[in-house]
Amino acid sequence: MRISRGAMIGALTVTLAATGVVAATYAMADATPSPASLDFGNVPAYETSAPKTVTITNPLADPVIFTVGSLEGKSAGDFKITNDGCSGKTLAQAETCSITATVRPSSASAIAADFVLPDNSAAQSTRIPLTANGYTSDKGTYYPLTPARILDTRSGLGAAKGQVKQGGVVHLQVTGAGGVPADASTVVLNVTVTGPTGGGYVSVFPTGVNRPTASSLNFAAGWRGANSVTVKVGTGGKVDLYNSSSGVDLIADVSGYYSQGRAYGSGSMGGQYHPLLSPVRLVDTRAGGYPPIPGGYYINAALTVNGTVDPTIRAVAVNITATSTGGTGYLTAWNGDGNNIPSTSVLNYTKGTTVPNFAVVPAMPCDDCGDATGYPSIGVGTSASAHIIVDLVGYYDDSTIPNGLRFSPAVPKRIVDTRSGLGWPSKLGAGTTATVTSPATPANDNTFALATNVTAYKPTANTYLTVWPAGIDGVGRPGTSNLNPIKDSIVPNAVQTMIGPDARFSVFNKSGSVDILVDIVGTFTLYPPIVTSGSGSGLKAPTLSDLTKYSQVTVPSGPRQLKKF
């Protein structure tokens, strides 16, 4: 074999010595990629990076001929070529083509691959190294806060002093208020309406988007009440509160936030959500024939999972109800620290009413709680005499318990309105259950729970509504309620519910007939997700027992001790 300069400048000719036959002609140099490699840097595991592009140039007079390129290497499935302008292309001198790629790390580790583009060079290919460092992000994890008031139009806190007029909008700054940082994606607010001069509703939604056709609170003239609102943070770190009525004062207390994902190396990690298939009653002060809790006192609501899980619990998702109320007043809920009782409310009531409200409440080990001492607990106090009921629907850990869920916010979206036949064709009659399928957007294969706002609209009798996951073997309607509307009222309440197969959940109505409205405000998705890479490879889907392994809650005895505010 004889190797010599070919007739073309910049080419390498290989000739068989015995016959003089030219075996092959190669370009003298490889095509030149710029940059020579693509380093995506630190990328959150299971999230897709921003795209990066490499441009390939032919520096010689001879053409460079490419065939079809491919990804190679152990982590090839984590990278994706989103635009291939080079495969099958011939580059004359100084001509260029480009390749664009993204990465979705399937683990919290360093990963690498090569994009190999076969060509007619001596090396027989142009090789572009691709690298990234996958890391565990805190995106969608929850950070509880000591409840803090950030809006009160009666005093001018957070907005102009004075009632919000009909059609008025409060642009409430939530980041930088009450401990909410700039990188919060979502805030959990308890929004209270007081002194409305007419009936109407309030919609809470991200600043900068069109007002959705969804309501967060509904009220009648003179009504005072509250609802928990989980709302995505909008433009400038603000959320909007729109009032449809002729005039109303608005109050908002913040109790926590979800992270939009902090930068690599922040060292911060919030909690993942662990929902229960059925609510567990932690406290019912009516049990045993006891009188209502006197005004000015509080009780602890405690729970235990096991010695491994208990120390990780940072907050609990509960439905809190005041009943047998002796006057006009309110309940407050916090971590139970007797030296740090907040001046905020979780719900408001009048004499002789039953009022529930959903809340996500910070938890801490119970102090001086008899047999429950040391267990995760919250404090619930009342300003006037009332019986207190606390039902646990889930808890937030420190992201160390397997198969936790993370939150993805959404602009409120109405999926059920029986008045128009949306999601369910008619009112719910007495003893009737509606089974609802959540739409594909925002739910997906990794969605196991929904954050919703459910409204009972003008029931024909005093009743209650219960929400639970549908179609799960062995899981029936729980013996708890989410809403307790009276005849002709319009009552909303936040509901966090697991969903069954095909993203279904059920709503039961006890008495009379009632229209129901359901608005989705976000989803809870599995972390790590089942599908983990662009190639379609993924983790083994968890079984129901996997998801509920750490949700076997026990209620300890003895947390009903009365403590003075």
Query: Per residue in 370-384, pLDDT tens?
Result: 888 999 999 999 999
Tell me if 29 is assigned to some domain: no
**In the predicted model, what is the mean pLDDT of residues 22-38?**
71
In a shared domain, residues 329 and 414: no
d(CA 103, CA 59) in angstroms, rounded, equals 29
CA-based nearest residue to 507, from 414, 418, 394: 418
Residue 9 has pLDDT above 70, yes or no: no
Average pLDDT of span 472-481: 90
Domain range spanning residue 246?
A: 141-265
Q: Which of 158-172, 438-452, 497-511 has the lowest mean pLDDT?
A: 438-452
Which of 95, 111, 135 delimits the end of a domain? Answer: 135
Is the model more confident about 532 or about 43?
Answer: 43
Domain end position, chosen among 248, 265, 282:
265
State whether 235 and 278 are in the same domain.
no
pLDDT digits (tens, 9 = 90+) for 89-123: 999 999 999 999 999 999 999 999 999 999 998 88
What's the CATH code of the domain at 440? 2.60.120
The answer to whether residue 491 sits within a structural domain is: yes
Q: Is residue 19 part of a domain?
A: no
Same domain assignment for residues 560 and 518: no
Higher pLDDT, 61 or 432: 432
Could you tell me the pLDDT band of residue 21, with boundaries at 50, 70 and 90? very low
Q: Please state the pTM of the whole predicted model.
A: 0.89
- Domain assignment present for residue 466? The answer is yes
Q: Are residues 48 and 108 in the same domain?
A: yes
In a domain, 76, yes or no: yes
Together in a domain, 417 and 523: yes
Q: What is the CATH number of the domain that holds 54?
A: 2.60.40.10
Per-residue pLDDT at 474: 84
- Residues 303 and 189 placed together within one structural domain of the fold: no
pLDDT digits (tens, 9 = 90+) for 280-298: 999 999 988 899 999 999 9
pLDDT of amino acid 556: 86
pLDDT of residue 558: 62
Instruction: Indicate if 63 and 129 belong to the same structural domain.
Output: yes
Q: Does 323 fall in a domain?
A: yes
Q: How many domains does the chain have?
A: 4
204, 236: one domain: yes
Question: Does some domain include residue 121?
Answer: yes
Assess whether 261 and 285 both reside in one domain: no
Instruction: Answer yes or no: is pLDDT of 506 > 70.
Output: yes
Could you tell me if 421 and 519 lie in one domain?
Answer: yes
Buried b (16+ CB within 10 A) or exposed e, 381-416: bbbbbbbbbbbbbbbbbebebebbbbbbbbbbbbbb
| Pair (215, 333) in one structural domain | no
**Least confident segment among 306-320, 333-347, 475-489, 551-565:** 551-565
Looking at the structure, tell me whether residues 456 and 422 fall in a common domain.
Answer: yes
Q: How many Cα atoms within 13 Å fall on the side-chain side of residue 538?
A: 14
Q: Which of 213, 233, 265 is the last residue of a domain?
A: 265
Confidence check: pLDDT of 561 > 80: yes
Q: Which residue has the higher pLDDT, 30 or 416?
A: 416
Q: Is 21 a member of any domain?
A: no
- Spell out the residues 6+ positions from residue 189 whose beta carbon is closer than 8 angstroms to its own: 174, 204, 228, 229, 230, 231, 239, 252, 253, 254, 255
Query: What average pLDDT score do residues 66-79 get?
Result: 97
Other CB atoms within a 10 A radius of the CB of residue 68 amount to 10
Contact 202, 177 (CB under 8 A): no
